[in-house]
Amino acid sequence: MLKASVEKITLQFKRPAGTSRGILSTKNSWIISLWNDEKPGITGKGEASIIESLSPEWSDEYENELRDILSNIHLFSEDDLINFPSIRFGIEAALKDLKNGGKREYFDNAFTRGEEGIRINGLIWMGDKSFMLDQIKEKLEMGFSCIKLKIGAIDFDAELDLLRFIRAKFSKETLELRVDANGAFAPKDALEKLEALSKFDLHSIEQPIKQRQWEEMAQLCKKTPLPIALDEELIGINEMSLKQQVLNTIKPQYIILKPSLVGGFTASDEWISLAEKMNIGWWITSALESNVGLDAIAQYTATKNNPMPQGLGTGQLFKNNVTSTLRIKRDFLFHH
């Protein structure tokens, strides 16, 4: 019989991380271990990773619900966990690891074998203009050719100034620029802001307005002068028919998949399948997981052979992260 345990870890940021939802200094995750008597000494690891203001299943009872599910793990199928995307992701990863020998090798591919890297974007955290500028310079010195700026927390004109500064030094051929508004714009002035942003040859903007405003987002995607990527919009949309409805209604240029927020690898596969049928582009992003979840997401991402820069973390945000199997070289993530 399958058996399970879980360990809560509180990850501490090396420096507070600014987001449109406030400043984060710590982040909770739960490391799931699965084993059975047929494979003595082999344990599969996965991570249930929560962002308290964003994960749809978050409540004060989350840890109790997780422990309850794990104590009866043999009774649950993947479909039973559809409304617990973070738990579904953690269990799915742990089962893969258990099946593959408990070495945190979730998928077998050139990345997992250390033969190839995954190109990633460099993430610029929100803060005052000088702090964001320092981060940009650091990423460029490291060799990143695609950077993503979180916008919407400081003065919009100051954010435009940052983009102006970057573009004065680096053309779109030299540096790909993405921005993420995390739903910060009001629908009534979003198009005007998109037009101002489009002057800087941006690759895309993520989630310009808050999720669950499908008609307003559909109009934006129809009229936008720069490509729009849905991010938070996908979270909490778990049934296949509803996924189809979201994409048919909004018709975005891109979607962004966070496996720990949309329900794991199978759920991400469903989104990718629907998007590709509609010629909607996509990429995969981590969401502040520890190195356990990040490693599983990176290995999954490598199975897709998507040449676009992916939004994967590097495991270097936290003071007390789990031991890493990942390293970064210029703007590529490698497994070793």
Residue 19 has a pLDDT of 63
SS3 289: coil
The single residue listed with the structure tokens 């582009």 is 281
Q: Does 258 qualify as catalytic in the annotation? A: yes
Helix (H) or strand (E) holding 198: helix 187-198
The structure tokens listed for 220 are 């934006």
Q: Which amino acid is at 180?
A: D
Q: Do domains 3-99 and 118-335 have the same CATH topology?
A: no
Residues of the chain with pLDDT under 50: none
Q: Name the catalytic one among 27, 139, 150, 193.
A: 150
Question: Could you read off the pLDDT of 147-159 as tens digits, one per residue?
Answer: 999 888 778 998 8
Residue 250 has a pLDDT of 98
CA-to-CA distance for 85 and 35, rounded, in angstroms? 21
* Boundaries of every domain in the chain: 3-99, 118-335
Helix (H) or strand (E) holding 9: strand 3-19
| DSSP string of 31-56, one letter each residue | EEEEE-TTSTT--EEEEEE--TTT-T
Q: Give the CA diameter of the chain.
A: 62
Fold classified for 118-335: TIM Barrel (3.20.20)
Residue 278 has a pLDDT of 97
User: Taking the model in full, what pTM does it have?
Assistant: 0.95
The structure tokens listed for 43 are 């344990």
Residue 152 has a pLDDT of 83
Residue 165 has a pLDDT of 86
Query: Residues, the chain, total?
Result: 336
Residue 18 has a pLDDT of 65
Compute φ and ψ for 133, nearest 5 degrees: -65, -40
Q: Does 172 qualify as catalytic in the annotation? A: no
Per-residue burial over 256-273, b if 16 or more Cβ lie within 10 Å, else e, is bbbbbbbbbbebbebbbe
Instruction: Select 3-99's CATH number: 3.30.1330.40, 3.30.390.10, 1.10.357.10, 2.50.20.10.
Output: 3.30.390.10
